[in-house]
Amino acid sequence: MKTSEKVKRVKKLQWGEDFPYPVVLSEYSAKRGHKILFYNRAFSNNFVQYKGNLDKTTLEELLGDYFKGNGLIVIYIKNSPYCVINFSISKKRKLHLFIEEKAWLRFPQWYHTERLASLGKLAGEISHELNNPLGGILLYANMLKEELPKSSKWADLVDRIIKLTTRCKIISKALLDFGKPERAKKEWINLNEPILNIYDIIKDYQIFKKIKFTFDLDPALPKYYANQTQMEQVFLNLFTNAAESMKGEGEIKVETKAKDDKIIIRISDTGPGIPEDILPYIFDPFFTTKKTGKGTGLGLSICHSIIRRHSGEIRVETNPSGGATFEIILPLPTREALREDGF
Ligand code: ADP
């Protein structure tokens, strides 16, 4: 196979607002004790994607034409960013390479930092504004509940108002926590629980009414040290996206299992899947393909940030039937780690 077939230029990006990666990468490398030997704005024009078998490829083969200039390469394996290669050629034609294996997993966080900081502030303000009216609704609904006889046909509806308003308060609090990871309290939980809790709350929502949920949940799933509310938020976002992509009709399959010291959670839908050209961006804050007013572009970036805070990964792939499958991988702590943490 010719290199040109394997290495494909994905997008010409503008330096600056559009594409802060090289700046971030230089900071990243510097922080890791790497010296940036050669640094050039032209980097941003050499953003390429490699799809192929890394084990069977030499770097020269991999870089091909790009070997002649300076650049930044992101290697994708099965559509998941695997490593970043930052390279430059000095005037003496000496090649300087910085290869950061799996760096991308930390990388988006760096890149998100600035945007997240302002987003966290905005989210905090919105959450603050929402909390008071929500508190009021909850108070009045509780007063109403006390006034109603238990046998009243309205009692069930008032209970629903209370349940849903409580959910809104939880979401609004999650928004407040968004930029402040240290706030979330974690405990040992069975991750099947947040999945079923959220399902119980949303199953009667209009958008989910014609969706068939199938659960294949491992009854012996080991407990995970997690924040229950945040995990509920992740499943709520993924279920909502799946339902919206299927326009309210189709199937959502949820699977949990423990494998090789990891908990794996897969959520698949029978929607149209995610076009390859937008795959690298879907976890970015504010990235949405939904109509103005419909999507915020925050759902997946919140999921990503929560899962990262739980030391895990979230990725997406297209399933054979064409829909999207989101996979969450959470590493189970080793006995040593547990002992060190005093468990
Ligand atoms: P929003 O839902 O507000 O658009 P998200 O961050 O949750 O924001 O999602 C970003 C984009 O990712 C969506 O606009 C959509 O294009 C795509 N997406 C997310 N989940 C799915 C899915 N299950 N199927 C198809 N596309 C999806």
Does 187-340 carry CATH code 3.30.1660.40?
no
CATH code reported for the domain at 3-108: 3.30.450.20
When pLDDT is cut at 50, 70 and 90, the band that residue 319 belongs to is confident
When pLDDT is cut at 50, 70 and 90, the band that residue 290 belongs to is confident
When pLDDT is cut at 50, 70 and 90, the band that residue 249 belongs to is very high
Q: Which residues pair with 136 in a beta bridge?
A: none
Query: Pocket of ligand 1, candidates 282, 316, 321, 328: which has the most ligand atoms within 8 Å of its Cβ, to mutate?
Result: 282
> Any idea which residue has 């390279």 for tokens?
87
Q: Do domains 3-108 and 187-340 have the same CATH topology?
A: no
pLDDT score for 318: 84
When pLDDT is cut at 50, 70 and 90, the band that residue 13 belongs to is very low
Backbone angles phi, psi at 80, to 5 degrees: -105, 130
Chain-wide mean pLDDT for the chain?
71
pLDDT score for 282: 86
Protein residue whose Cα sits closest to atom 4 of ligand 1: 288
Higher pLDDT, 223 or 109: 223
User: Ligand 1: residues whose CB is within 6 Å?
Assistant: 237, 241-242, 245, 269, 271, 274, 282, 287-290, 295-301, 324
Q: Which residues, in sequence order, are CB contacts of 115 under 8 Å at separation 6+?
A: 285, 286
pLDDT above 70 coverage of the chain, percent: 56
Ligand 1 centroid – CA 56 distance (Å): 34
pLDDT score for 143: 93
What is the per-residue pLDDT across 165-215, written as a single tens digit (0 to 9) for each? 887 887 777 666 655 554 568 899 999 999 999 898 888 888 899 999 999
**Is the pLDDT confidence value at 267 over 50?**
yes
Query: Residues 171, 282, 325, 198: what is their CA dihedral angle, to the nearest 10 degrees?
Result: 0
**Is the pLDDT confidence value at 108 over 90?**
no
Most trustworthy range by pLDDT among 56-65, 104-113, 178-187, 234-243: 234-243
Distance CA 86, CA 48 (A): 11
Domain positions in the chain are 3-108, 120-176, 187-340
**Is the pLDDT confidence value at 301 over 90?**
no
What average pLDDT does the segment 39-54 reach? 39
CB distance 286 to 296 below 8 Å: yes
Lowest-pLDDT range of 20-29, 136-145, 159-168, 326-335: 20-29
Ligand 1 atom closest to 301 (CA): 6
What average pLDDT does the segment 152-157 reach? 89
Q: Global pTM?
A: 0.57
Distance CA 238, CA 327 (A): 10
